[in-house]
Amino acid sequence: MLPPAPVTKAGPLLAWLFDSLRPMNRTRIKQRLRHGYISVNGTITTRHDYPLQPGDQVAIARIRPPTDRSLADAGIAIALEDDALIVIDKPPGLLTVATAAEKTDTAFARLNAHLTARGLGRLFVVHRLDRETSGLLLFARSAALRDRLQANWGDVKKTYLAVVEGKPRRDEGVVDNFLLEGRDLRVRAVRKGSGGRRAVTHYRVLATHGPYSLIEVVLETGRKHQIRVHLTGLGCPVIGDPLYGSASDPAGRLGLHAQRLSLDHPVSGERVEVEAPLPAVLRRVVG
């Protein structure tokens, strides 16, 4: 808990928080309030319109680590949680949901166990990340909310960070083609009309350090292995990805991280933005 701060002027709590916590992102401030990190005169409140009076003491709790060992042991951090949504920061190497080969140790199973232990109900998968990709993974708290989120998935802005070999010839651009998965499970670019599905990726080079570059990627579509295939097509395979042409593995993992989700909240309609920082092991590769 940070030391309580005195209120000097009457007004609503949220406005006081915006002013006092500057330059913190407004969405993050609202999340802190919604999740019970704010107290007034020793009592936790989630009311954005709580009427503050001069002399009131407002305290802000530090972000709490996961309390369930099944989350902590798996390296899972909760980035956002409310009555409708849960967003986690998934580590690499962990499946989103069960497969024939791995039925028990998944992000879904770990998070479900965490909720069950707290008596907080069921969990519903909205989308998936590849096993070796880290970053933000969104779940819904009901089937109806899952369906609503999936129906509007095209309106969700999905931003990734990729550490790649080399540097694209252009610092930013758009890759727009058609992708098709072969019998060998590898995805390839094909001509229009060859059975592939359209895939659109926007990219921007953020930094270059020696033989590696950090690229910001925004997905317009969400095809299997889309980012990996498109960056390889630019001559810049993602590090640690021999399937799509990478010759190096300086981080000991795939260099792909789901950094940001920006979406309309399925209940309030408010625009929500959640971020997960680039893991240190990838940050070191690009200086």
Which distant-in-sequence residues (6+ apart) come within 8 Å of 34 by Cβ? 46, 82
User: Does the fold of domain 158-258 match that of domain 69-151?
Assistant: yes
Q: How far is CA 223 from the centre of its chain?
A: 17
| 257, two tokens | 């991280």
Pick the CATH number of 69-151 from 3.30.2350.10, 3.40.50.300, 2.40.37.10, 1.10.3720.10: 3.30.2350.10
Q: At 264, which helix (H) or strand (E)? A: strand 256-264
Residue 64 is predicted with a pLDDT of: 47
Residue 173: closest CA among 233, 245, 256, 239: 233
Asked: is 5-60 a CATH 3.10.290.10 domain? The reply is: yes
Before 91, cis peptide (omega within 30)?
A: no
Whether the per-residue pLDDT at 1 is higher than 60: the answer is no
Tens-place pLDDT, residues 132-163: 999 999 999 999 999 999 999 999 999 999 99
pLDDT at residue 23 tops 50:
yes
What pLDDT sits at residue 130?
Answer: 92
Provide the residue type at 91 as one letter.
Answer: P
Helix (H, G, I), strand (E, B) or coil at 153: helix
49 is catalytic: no
**Is 70 exceeded by the pLDDT of residue 103?**
no
Catalytic residue among 130, 147, 155, 171: 130
Distance of CA 112 to the CA centre of its chain: 18
- Domain 158-258: CATH superfamily is Pseudouridine synthase (3.30.2350.10)
State yes or no: pLDDT of 66 exceeds 80. no
Give how far Cα 135 sits from Cα of 93, 106, 107, 177, 232, Å. Answer: 11, 14, 12, 26, 21
DSSP string over 196-258: -EEEEEEEEEEEEETTEEEEEEEESS--TTHHHHHHHHTT-PBTT-GGGT----TTSS--EEE
203-232 in b/e form (b: 16+ CB < 10 A) is bebeebeeebbbbbbbbbeebebbbbbbbb
Torsion of CA 119, 121, 125, 130, to 10 degrees: 10
Segment 34-62, tens digit of pLDDT: 666 788 887 777 778 889 999 999 988 75
User: Going by C-beta distance under 8 Å and a sequence separation of 6 or more, which residues neighbour residue 162?
Assistant: 214, 215, 217, 227, 231, 238, 255, 256, 257
| Dihedral pair phi/psi, residue 150, rounded to 5° | -65, -35
Neighbours of 179 (CB within 10 A): 19
Strands 212-219 and 157-165, bridge-based pairing = antiparallel
102 pLDDT tier (thresholds 50, 70, 90): low
Structure tokens at 86: 């849960």
- Pairing verdict, β 134-140 and 256-264: parallel
**DSSP string covering 77-146, please?**
EEEEE-SSEEEEEEPTT-BSS--SS-SSSBHHHHHHHHHHHTT----EE-----TT-EEEEEEESSHHHH
Window from 120-124, 232-236, 279-283 with minimum mean pLDDT: 120-124
Confidence of residue 69 (pLDDT cuts 50, 70, 90): low
Residue 119's pLDDT band (boundaries 50, 70, 90)?
confident
Domain ranges of the chain: 5-60, 69-151, 158-258
- 212, 249 Cβ separation under 8 angstroms: no
Written as six digits, the tokens of 152 are 């509007």
Q: Which pLDDT does position 101 carry in this prediction?
A: 67
In angstroms, the Cα distances linking 109 to 24, 120, 255 are 33, 14, 25
